[in-house]
Homo-oligomer: A and B are copies of this chain.
Amino acid sequence: MIQIDYPSRSQWAELLRRPVMNIESLFDTVRDILSHVQAEGDKAVLEYERQFDHASLSSLPVTPEEMDEAEAQVSDALKEAIHLAAGNIRAFHEAQRFAGCHAQTQPGVACWQKAVPIERVGLYVPGGTAPLFSTVLMLAIPARIAGCREIVLCTPPGKDGRVNPAVLYAAHVAGVSRIFKAGGVQAIGAMAYGTQSVPKVYKIFGPGNQYVTAAKQLVSLRDVAIDMPAGPSEVAVLADGDARPDFVAADLLSQAEHGIDSQAILVTTSIPLRQAVVEEIGRQLPLLPRRDIAARSLENSKLIVAKDMDEAVELVNNYAPEHLIIQAEDYARIAKYIINAGSVFLGPYSTESAGDYASGTNHTLPTNGYARAYSGVSLDSFIRKITFQEITPEGLRRIGPAIQEMAANEHLEAHRNAVTIRMQSLNTDL
């Protein structure tokens, strides 16, 4: 851990710098796999499943029998937890429904927006050591609330050709339409282009390794929308002298266990708190199963002491963290000044884990400073807002001359004529 007291403003940029990811170097490899999937469809996906996931599959779809088996394999305790989380996620995303917006900008000129679901969406859920069934809930529940007609899920099988049962159970609870055994670049290609069994979707969501990220970026250049650019997960904890060091340490460690490239940053106004957090990390770290990963991640983590809370807030806004935990006496006041963050956790009991799993907020959030320009996944991510307008003869009389003047000045006479011809008809009709 890197400990810095009272850094000068000129040190900030260096201090808050993230490791540069160069996934563009993977583009050539990834492009080959995508092209092969586009040309060969299922056959290519099945080949890559054998090659990369070491799974011999005869077909890609998860069958109803496999869904039943998965349900039998998930414990009652986990089912109950999944249902509680799903209920909260549903409640918060239901509250995000767009009521519509309507304005009469002039008498006879009505403009409005209407929310329409994206018809077909694709969700990617990685496999590997940790089965991310929570991500299934975070993506499929808002898709379902939005009204997406088809919700496709791709997730890699294990060597035995089976998908983790908790992932399947969560997909069932969340209302996924169809599930396919496909991982990595081949899964992204299958959803972007469509294959014999996997339908082409219009937007792809979900986390993944560098290859998946590169594949999402490449297909987003032309073929399909994606949720957002991805990077390693990160947390900033903003704490004053009143914060509990054991809570702060636990939050930093829960970020650090994600992977060696995870970022965990503490910004505090209190040197004693900083010292106590370091001690607590020393106590808690050795007890963790993933202590080796967490320890390597912590090597790059920064514990910064700022001269006051205003400066601390400014540092955090400069960093634009994916997750921000505020453990300070007047956290409600401080929250008002946060302008760059993905998701903010307020007060001693709002641990990041709550938002990762079960409070109701989404855990698909902008990393790598993207919080400066992107929101996390929400109901908005699964809809489009189409604008409509209806202009009456009176409305056209009011705005027509301005349109004619502007079109003429942009040298677009046909644009002008589309108004002229209508205005003339109104005069004739009178």
Are A388 and B344 in touch, CB under 8 angstroms? yes
Are B402 and A80 in touch, CB under 8 angstroms? yes
Most chain-B Cβ atoms within 10 A of its Cβ — which of A21, A111, A217, A425? A111
The residues in A between 339 and 377 inclusive whose CB is less than 8 angstroms from any CB of B are 339-362, 370-376
Most chain-B Cβ atoms within 10 A of its Cβ — which of A222, A361, A373? A373
Complex Cα distance, B357 from A396, in Å, reads 12
Complex Cα distance, B85 from A409, in Å, reads 14
Other-chain residue from B256, B341, B348, B412 in contact with A254 (beta carbon distance below 8 A): B412
- Select from chain B the residue with minimum beta-carbon distance to A22: B222
Shortest Cβ gap from A56 to chain B (Å) = 26
- Select from chain B the residue with minimum beta-carbon distance to A129: B411
Are A373 and B203 in touch, CB under 8 angstroms? yes
A289 at the interface (CB under 8 A from B): yes
Q: Could you tell me which A residues sit within 8 Å of B by CB distance?
A: 21, 24, 77-78, 80-82, 84-85, 87-88, 91-92, 94-96, 101-103, 105-106, 109, 111, 113, 116-119, 129-134, 166, 202-203, 217, 220-222, 224-225, 229, 244, 246-247, 250-251, 253-254, 256-258, 284, 287-290, 294, 332, 335, 338-362, 370-376, 378, 380, 383-393, 395-396, 399, 401-403, 405-407, 409-419, 421-422, 425
Are B289 and A413 in touch, CB under 8 angstroms? yes
Are B406 and A357 in touch, CB under 8 angstroms? yes
Are B356 and A415 in touch, CB under 8 angstroms? yes
Determine the chain B residues whose CB is within 8 A of the CB of A294 once the complex forms. Answer: 414
Q: List 22 A-B contacts (CB under 8 A).
A: A24-B222, A78-B409, A81-B401, A81-B405, A81-B406, A85-B406, A92-B105, A96-B101, A116-B338, A130-B412, A133-B406, A166-B409, A220-B229, A342-B387, A346-B390, A350-B391, A356-B403, A359-B391, A359-B395, A362-B387, A373-B384, A380-B380
Complex Cα distance, B113 from A395, in Å, reads 37
Complex Cα distance, B91 from A42, in Å, reads 51
Determine the chain B residues whose CB is within 8 A of the CB of A24 once the complex forms. Answer: 221-222
Shortest Cβ gap from A62 to chain B (Å) = 19
Determine the chain B residues whose CB is within 8 A of the CB of A338 once the complex forms. Answer: 116, 386
Are B421 and A257 in touch, CB under 8 angstroms? no
Are B133 and A409 in touch, CB under 8 angstroms? yes
Complex Cα distance, B373 from A393, in Å, reads 33
Complex Cα distance, B285 from A116, in Å, reads 36
Are A250 and B105 in touch, CB under 8 angstroms? no
Are B343 and A403 in touch, CB under 8 angstroms? no
Shortest Cβ gap from A348 to chain B (Å) = 7
Most chain-B Cβ atoms within 10 A of its Cβ — which of A217, A356, A415? A415
Determine the chain B residues whose CB is within 8 A of the CB of A348 once the complex forms. Answer: 422
Shortest Cβ gap from A110 to chain B (Å) = 9
Determine the chain B residues whose CB is within 8 A of the CB of A134 once the complex forms. Answer: 406, 410
Are A390 and B347 in touch, CB under 8 angstroms? yes
- Select from chain B the residue with minimum beta-carbon distance to A251: B418
Are B111 and A102 in touch, CB under 8 angstroms? no
Are A410 and B132 in touch, CB under 8 angstroms? yes
